[in-house]
Structure 1
Amino acid sequence: MLKTNLFGIDFKNPVFLAAGIMGETGSALKRMGKNGAGAVCTKSIGLEKKMGHNNPTMVEVEGGFLNAMGLPNPGINEYVGEIEEIRDDLKKMGVKIIGSIYGKDSNEFSKVAETISPFVDVIELNISCPHAGGFYGAQIGQNPDLSHSVVSAVKDCVNKQPVMAKLTPNVADIKEIAKSVEDAGADGIVAINTLGPGMVIDIETKKPILGNKFGGMSGKAIKPIAIKNVYDIYSAVELPIIGVGGITMGLDAIEFMLAGASAVQVGTGVYYRGYDIFDKICEEMEQFLIEKNIKLKDIVGGAHE
């Protein structure tokens, strides 16, 4: 009932693990696959090893979390070993792998993409992290020309492999960025990355709590913003959209699809409902479809009618 085809690839369901959550190791990705995810997304991986920001890197706030991880990762050459170890197991489970990558320019993105390409089914370009600094993340994704350059370079590098651009909501007009990556050859769009950046101050120490001082907002509170961004993107481009931001229930996923998403990613929702949140969301979606006597494909973009 939930089988979904994107980019010519069959996914057993449209509920995926988002980048940055339980993607540090191959075993963590495998665990999410066992708990019902239709696809698992790696943490964002760069060309070289990166330590990330100092602790604390996450703080819970009303309605979600602020996080400032700083893109910590072992570097692409080491990380592909993690994927290789679990790739066959995930294939047996019918779980696809999305490789999230980042770089400071189109050249770095291309090098990482070329290395990870043989190990993943889809590549996701992180051009949207709001706290990465150093010309990474949102500093690229807030500029339509830089976004175009990165997508175009990666598509040239990996040939026919599907490439998705993950967009930031922290722009004046997300439709402009969406059109730019579509023109550059992107096969899909992921929307949205965390909102912000934001800050929390400890009133006793009079200092920001996060080691980086500020971070990106995720969780339930950002869902209405994510829904609006997906709605706008759907009206502007012809690409499939993966909706992400505040999804914890099956009805949240349905709402994203009505806005225009063909699939969704779940991140901090794992904290609220556990590792088996993917199974739970799928069951809730199926129940909704049965009660309404409709098919999944019939609801995508339904709010635009």
Structure 2
Amino acid sequence: MSNTPDLSVSFAGLTLQTPLVLLSGCVGFGEEYTRVEGWDNRDIGAVILKGTTVEPRMGNAPHRVYETPSGMLNAIGLQNPGARYVVEHILPGLPHHETQFWANANGTSPEEYAEVARIFDDSPVTAIEINISCPNVKAGGVHFGNDPCMAARVVEAMRPMTKKPLITKLSPNSADIAETARLVIEAGSDGLSVINTLVGMAVDIEKRKPVIDNISGGLSGPAIKPVALWKIHQTRAIAAKQSIPILGQGGITCARDAIEFAVVGSDAIGIGTGLFYDPLMCGKLLDGLSEYLQRHGLASYSELVGSLVTKNG
């Protein structure tokens, strides 16, 4: 009998071969990392495709990306070819037999989000992430994520349009992330992504201008990890009460980071900016995670999830 821990996980009715999920915006439309020598899709539970809208978008003007201490600012602005193009021309060429692919829906109104859900419902994606918290577009996005009632309206609009699991991406910039979690779950969300990027900016001191043309952008990377852990801890009780899984994310670059996220309540682990540091980090992360589980006598990743010990028990 094998002593190798079980790294498969159940998430929103789906079975993922590992807890690792590649995050939207970091791997394009799922084909970018297949060109990296040594890449193996079997290390991945799912890939979330780049944020998609009903109509094509050109995105923001450059500069759109800027490296910061222990992180990165980005303000791409949801550049994408439109949902129908993705379904008709991109999805057919992806290796669906190797891993799962999830859509990432965006819009400027609940009705637009609903239309994206309708388009992706008739496609091979196995789930749809709802990006209600994108901080680098001027309409929609973060405005929905920071208003719990508006966030719920988006989920309510999408829910009748698809039978696929809906996973709502929550904003750390919300005044009450737990209340947002409660309302989107009541509206029909099958899972939560916690967290999206923080809002930040950088300044060129010689020109005395913002580095990012959009002025602000989304801050990701190790710098936001403590915030992400706290926000997952805040939402865990609400999600667990309704048996709603959490995709934890924000600054994960190694097995130790992933273990911390699992302990505070991440049913799956989102990998994003860390891939820019090390494109082959996923295999190393899984090896480290497996070694930790064996050392602590745990038979599966799922046994680690939500095992945080506090003074209150």
Q: Could you tell me the TM-score, scaled by structure 1's length?
A: 0.93
Q: Within the alignment, does 1:289 sit opposite 2:293 as a pair?
A: yes
Is 1:143 matched up with 2:151? no
Mapping 1:27-66, distance limit 5 Å:
27-28=31-32, 30=34, 34=41, 36-66=43-73
2:43 partner SS: coil
Task: Compute the displacement of 1:236 (Å).
Answer: 2.1
Asked if 1:4 is matched to 2:4, the reply is no
Is the Cα contact below 8 Å between 1:33 and 1:90 reproduced in 2?
Answer: no
Match of 1:177 in 2: 180
Residue 112 (structure 2) aligns with? 108
Q: How far apart, in 2, do the equivalents of 1:180 and 1:29 lie?
A: 36
Counterpart for residue 163 of structure 1: 166
The separation in 2 between residues aligned to 1:217 and 1:27, in whole angstroms, is 24
**Deviation of the 1:7 alpha carbon:** 2.1
- Aligned partner of 2:92 in structure 1 is 84
**What whole-Å deviation, never above 9, does each CA across 1:29-82 have from its counterpart, x for those lacking one?**
655663722110001000111111111101001010111111111111112221
Q: Secondary structure at the match of 1:22?
A: coil
SS at match of 2:63: coil
Equivalent residue letter for 1:50: R
Please tell me whether the aligned partners of residues 30 and 47 of structure 2 are also in contact (alpha carbons under 8 angstroms).
no
Match of 2:158 in 1: 154
Which amino acid in 1 is paired with 2:217? G
Tell me which residue corresponds to 2:212.
210
| 1:119 Cα deviation after fit | 2.5
What does the per-residue CA deviation read over 1:7-29, in whole Å, with 9 as the maximum and x for residues that have no partner?
A: 22111100110011012x34226
Letter in 2 for 1:48: E
Query: Of 248, 251, 257, which residue of structure 2 is paired with 1:252?
Result: 257
Alignment partner of 1:272 is 2:260:
no
> Identity of counterpart residues, as a percentage?
35
Aligned match of 1:122: 127
Residue 194 of structure 1, aligned match among 186, 194, 197? 197
Separation in 1 of the partners of 2:33 and 2:148?
A: 32
**Cα distance in 2, alignment partners of residues 29 and 41 from structure 1:** 13
Q: 1:33 to 1:17 in 2, by over 3 A?
A: farther
Alignment gaps of 5+ in structure 2: 1-5
Higher percent of residues as helix:
1
Secondary structure, in 3 states, of the residue corresponding to 2:262? helix
The question of 1:224 aligning with 2:200 is answered no
Tell me the equivalent position of 2:3.
Answer: none
| Partner-residue secondary structure (3-state), 2:129 | strand
CA 1:4–1:287: 2 relative to 1, 3 Å: same
- SS state at 1:302 partner: coil
Q: TM-score, normalised to structure 2's length?
A: 0.91
- The amino acid that maps onto 1:167 is L
Assess, with a 3 A threshold, how the Cα gap between structure 1 residues 29 and 113 changes in structure 2: closer, same or farther.
Answer: farther
Contact persistence 1:128–1:138 (CA under 8 A): yes
Q: Is the 8 A contact 2:30 2:48 kept in 1?
A: no
Matches of 1:185 and 1:243 in 2, distance apart? 19
Cα-Cα RMSD = 1.4
CA contact (8 A) 2:222 2:251 kept: yes
Q: Is the 8 A contact 1:163 1:187 kept in 2?
A: yes
